Amino acid sequence: MTKLDRAKFTKEVTVPSVEILSKNVGKSMSVFKKYLLKMEKLKPVTEVQGNDEKRKLLLDPILFETLDKLREDDQQKLSELDINKNCFSNSCLHLEYHNFRMDDIFKAVLPEGKEGCTSYSRIGHIIHLNLRDHLLPYKNLIGEVLVDKLIGVKTVVNKSSAIDSTYRNFQMEVLAGEADFVTEVKENMCTFKFDFSQVYWNSRLCTEHERIIKLLPQKSVLFDVFAGVGPFSIPAAKVRKCRVFANDLNPSSYHWLKENVRLNKVENVETFNLDGRQFIREQMPPFLLTRPTEPIHVTMNLPALAVEFLDAFIGLLSGVELDPLLDITVHVYSFCEESSAFSEMRTKVESALKHSIEDEQIVELVDVRDVSPKKHMLRLSFRIPPDVLTKAAEEETSSEPKRLKLDLETQDR
């Protein structure tokens, strides 16, 4: 079935059932609960026609066979409630499409022996799929079933192109429902509104967003280089009371970032629509030259390219004496191969900075998530070496960074 035919799911079935006194239904559940027939919009405990003192329990024919197949202790419990083999019978049920669970429908219509529609992301009223090739002939059917079966879902889309590294959005195809891409998501005690077709949002990063927010000290300072619609910036300002400088190059992301600042009623966020390197070079020095005493954090969540932007820190405060030293922690993300992910991540960062990172400068090295079986998204959080910031301009293209040997197995993963 490549076109959803709901009528095909209409059928008459016979299932085992048991009639018991209404007053004993609760007591009998210690035995029957695991055998109850579980289908959508179907109550497993029903009235017995013409007898107000009894109830009928519908049982799953796959799980329940006969009374004598139950464990002896369960049989004893039922005997004490005067439930014997004469209480059992078969009941005929009329089932339709609305009675079947989503997984059962997919199992019935999708190719046998191949992976089904096992995962999706939900973004407000939108379901986002990334279907494998063998499921593409069934894409519209899959979309219709998801709209039918998931409460509050109005739109189902399938990713039809790779993510654009410049603006971090991608082409999508509407499989079912309305072509309405403006949605709202609640995360980390904040509300985010955005046009999913024009910006980047990944619900699977919710835990990582929360981890970073917890790392930020109260009333610290955050420079969010690739802020998107604000999943780091907004809760940092609202929950941790940080002063935030939030930037994104994508005009749509910038628009919704400003809207989310307004929506969440945060006042300590300044927003920018600049290239990431330009943002670091132009917005950080004036603030750093005020000699702030608060801890400063920099988030760089653009895994495909973020490491390349680290060179913007080289010579950022050239000719300036840092006394006292500034406390700047950078959280940078990148994709790495599974086999050498941790060593690769550190090498990438040191190469971009043209400087080694001491063990004590590393806060943590985290495997954020598996992108594919051999590709991981990692975050390296480290305190930026002062020598990088004060390096003279003529030194920026000089010698290769000194490499520091490190037993990566000792790092916090």
Phi, psi of 408 (to 5 degrees): -65, -20
Q: Is residue 168 very low, low, confident or very high in pLDDT (cuts 50, 70, 90)? A: low
Considering only CA atoms, which of 28, 85, 36 is closest in space to residue 54? 28
What does the pLDDT read at residue 371?
A: 85
Contacts of 366 (CB under 8 A, 6+ apart): 211, 378, 379, 380, 381, 412, 413
Contacts of 359 (CB under 8 A, 6+ apart): 404, 406
Residue 256 DSSP SS3: helix
- Is residue 400's pLDDT more than 80? no
Question: Is residue 183 within 8 Å of residue 126, measured between CB atoms?
Answer: yes
- Whether residue 248 is annotated as binding a ligand: the answer is yes
The maximal CA–CA distance of the chain, rounded, in angstroms, is 95
Residue 302 to residue 331: CA distance in whole angstroms: 11
- Is residue 33's pLDDT more than 90? yes
40: DSSP letter: T
Pure H helices in 185-249: 206-215, 233-238
Q: Token pair of 387, please?
A: 């020598």
**Residue 337 forms beta bridges with which residues?**
375
Question: Is residue 263 within 8 Å of residue 238, measured between CB atoms?
Answer: no
Domains assigned to the chain: 6-99 (3.30.70), 102-180 (3.30.300.110), 202-390 (3.40.50.150)
Contacts of 270 (CB under 8 A, 6+ apart): 244, 245, 246
Q: Token pair of 237, please?
A: 């300002």
pTM for this entry: 0.84
- Whether residue 209 is annotated as binding a ligand: the answer is yes
- Cβ burial, residue 102 (10 Å; 0-12/13-18/19+): middle
Q: Is residue 137 very low, low, confident or very high in pLDDT (cuts 50, 70, 90)? A: very high
Amino acid at 328: I
Residue 185 to residue 366: CA distance in whole angstroms: 25
Question: Is residue 233 within 8 Å of residue 241, measured between CB atoms?
Answer: no
Average pLDDT value for residue range 357-367 = 94
Amino acid at 200: Y
What does the pLDDT read at residue 187?
A: 96
Residue with tokens 């927010």: 213
- Is residue 242's pLDDT more than 90? yes
What does the pLDDT read at residue 117?
A: 78
Question: Is residue 31 within 8 Å of residue 74, measured between CB atoms?
Answer: yes
What does the pLDDT read at residue 166?
A: 62
What does the pLDDT read at residue 75?
A: 95
Q: Token pair of 194, please?
A: 């955005």
Q: Is residue 342 very low, low, confident or very high in pLDDT (cuts 50, 70, 90)? A: confident
Phi, psi of 194 (to 5 degrees): -170, 165
Give the model confidence (pLDDT) of 270-324 as tens digits. 999 999 999 999 999 999 999 899 999 999 999 999 999 999 999 999 988 887 7
- Whether residue 249 is annotated as binding a ligand: the answer is yes
- Whether residue 275 is annotated as binding a ligand: the answer is yes
Average pLDDT value for residue range 153-180 = 81
Give 166 or 330, the one with higher predicted confidence: 330
